Structure 1
Amino acid sequence: MSVPLARLLITCPDAPGIVAAVSGFLRNHGANITALDQHSTDPEGGRFFLRAEFTTPHLDLGAGALEAAFARVVAEPFEMEWRILYASRRQRLALMVSKVDHALLEILWLWRRGELDAEIPLVVSNHDALREEVERFGVAFHHIPVTRETKPEAEAQTLALYEDAGIDLVVLARYMQILSPAFVGRYPQRILNIHHSFLPAFIGADPYRQAFERGVKVIGATAHYVTDDLDEGPILEQGVARVTHRQSVADLKRLGQTLERDVLARALRWHLEGRVLVHGNKTVVFA
């Protein structure tokens, strides 16, 4: 049987004694640390990042009391930004998609196989094309059309669905609409996007044809958090593959979509497992 786990994520100014304070606190309250990773940008005046995974069955305090004690005893003296994620509380995902299905179906397939520690109560799309595919997984499909005129109403309808469903994380599985700053602001560092890695070189329609005509030798995919700056949020993961003049536009597109599926799946797993800490417009990923 699996042992209940929790994950502690910390960002703070670097200082001596942080690891000792964290590990001592957890030990004193009956936790057993099973994994610990740390990183410092600069031992002298830099930022310190820590991820600790620990078992919870023998804690002497409930979650609320443990967090209050940690804040008082450890977090405040070290000026920490921190959070504890409990594996027993599965995060709830909303997937957003337009017409292309490869990233969406990869996530749903992994979820059905039990390889994603999450719940997926719904999918939202601005087209109705993938309804049947989604409903085969037993997931609710919501078609919310978007035009320039109806975009505010469509986003309001989407956000209302998410609030009712208790959504923790939004995954853009090739959703070809730009989200408004108001929408993004509801889920800071909790909207994950995937796209090809040609940006900003090949902007607009048919980037693989543009890349083919330019004779690129490497193609790739990027997963990042969404911010108000289009496609410029903190990057979680990237993947690349070499290509040659022998490959057609269709070959490049197939390979690119495979990269997108794999990169998005890895980034999503890392987020769900509390392996990502954001620092400015960069990430520290304890993968």
Structure 2
Amino acid sequence: MTDYVLTLRCNNRRGIVASVASRITGHGGDIFEAHQFDDQETGMFFMRVAFSMEGSEEAFRAAIAEEEKGFGLDLTLRPFGQKRKVLLMVSRFDHCLGDLLYRARIGELPIEPVAIVSNHPREALNLTLMGNIPYHHLPIAKDSKAEQEAQIRRLIEETGAELVVLARYMQILSDEFSADLAGRCINIHHSFLPGFKGAKPYHQAHARGVKMIGATAHYVTGDLDEGPIICQDVEPVSHADTPDELVQKGRDIERRVLARAVAWHLEDRVLINKGKTVVFAK
């Protein structure tokens, strides 16, 4: 038996769930997890089904093409837990990168890191987990942004990276590059969006005397720190915390939020719903 994950989105119509479930069981499939959501505001329907099946994947794909065409499904199907090629980007703060590499090494994240890109040299990072992952130092200046992004595009194409993760990459991507990466680039922002966007959010939060700090993982769009949100978390703080202490506490939140968002994306638990997301978490 092989485990699969099927996801779909479409305009809502009657009979979708019954037809898809019947198609799976008709091919000897055994459904062990199922989620669905009918968005009353947009009229869109979202579904994620995990199932085991002995039969041919090709035969099943050919058969479910009937539902795909009949209901106008935006459908994906892949073996559950299949490793995906990921390109990681980082600046000087390497705690999120180190956490992702560790989780990949112990098998917690099904990723194959194909490259690490940074605007700082490798010596600026303090990691010992990079191993033989190719490291690309691509510095960026005001007049070299387009050239640097073209180099990253080539790396994505050459490595076959399916996902780009900005693991505290402290550079703003161009609108064009953000559009190219739509739905396949995750960023971690060290704040609980939509508050405290841009640079030094912990210092902004300290100046406002907040009692909670947080982090937000979201898909990258051309609007700075406003892409569809995947995952967030918070932690209490007090008036006695300095900005540096907020930064220190924030590192732990950033690590776990980014790892959770990447895991959900890889497990096909996140479906984009215009400017928002539908997240079928466990």
| TM bracket, shorter-chain basis | over 0.9
- Bigger drift between 217-226 and 3-12 goes to 3-12
1:34-88 Cα shifts (integer Å, max 9, x gaps): 211111123x9822111001123x11x343x43232122x122222211112236
Q: Deviations over 1:170-216 (max 9, x none)?
A: 00001111112332233220000001225565455433223222211
Q: Aligned in 2, Cα 1:80/1:157: closer, same or farther, shift over 3 Å?
A: same
**In the TM superposition, what whole-angstrom CA distance separates every residue of 1:192-244 from its partner, at most 9, and x where no partner exists?**
00012255654554332232222111111000000111111100000111211
Q: Please tell me the residue identity of whatever aligns with 1:80.
A: L
Cα gap change, 1:196 to 1:92, in 2 (>3 Å)? same
- 1-structure distance, mates of 2:268, 2:64: 18
Partner of 1:125: 118
Q: CA RMSD in A?
A: 2.0
d(CA) in 2 for partners of 1:80, 1:181: 29
Please give the secondary structure, in 1, of the residue aligned with 2:92: coil
TM-score, normalised via structure 1 length: 0.91
Given that residues 115 and 136 in structure 2 are in contact (C-alpha distance below 8 angstroms), is that contact kept between their aligned partners in structure 1? yes
Contact 1:4/1:88 (8 A) holds in 2 = no
Query: Residue 241 of structure 2 aligns with which residue?
Result: 247
8 Å contact kept, 1:122–1:140: yes
Confirm or deny: 8 A CA contact 1:198 1:207 kept in the other structure. Answer: no
Q: Does 1:230 align with 2:224?
A: yes
Greater CA drift, 277-286 or 246-255:
246-255
The AA in structure 1 aligned to 2:45 is F
Question: Which runs of 5 or more structure 2 residues have no equivalent in the other structure?
Answer: none
Distance 2:74 2:45 in 1: 10
SS in 2 for 1:265: helix
The structure 2 residue matched to 1:51, chosen from 41, 48, 52, is 48
Q: Which runs of 5+ in 1 are unaligned?
A: none
CA contact (8 A) 1:14 1:45 kept: no
The CA deviation at 1:4 is 2.7
Q: Residue 275 of structure 1 aligns with which residue?
A: 269
User: Deviations along 1:5-61, whole A, 9 cap, x unmatched?
Assistant: 21111112222221110111011112221211111123x9822111001123x11x3
Give the 5 Å matches for 1:100-249.
100-128=93-121, 129-130=123-124, 133=127, 136-197=130-191, 201-249=195-243
Aligned residue among 4, 15, 27 for 2:13:
15
Contact 1:91/1:168 (8 A) holds in 2: yes
Contact 2:192 2:234 in 1 (8 A): no
Q: How far, CA to CA, are the matches of 1:203 and 1:282 in structure 2? A: 17
Any conservation in 1 of the 2:187–2:219 contact (CA below 8 Å)? yes
Contact 1:91 1:119 in 2 (8 A): yes
Q: Distance in 2 between matches of 1:125 and 1:48?
A: 39
Task: Give the fraction of aligned pairs with identical amino acids, expressed as a percent.
Answer: 45
* One-letter code aligned to 1:126: N
When normalised by structure 2's length, the TM-score is 0.92
Q: What is the aligned length?
A: 280
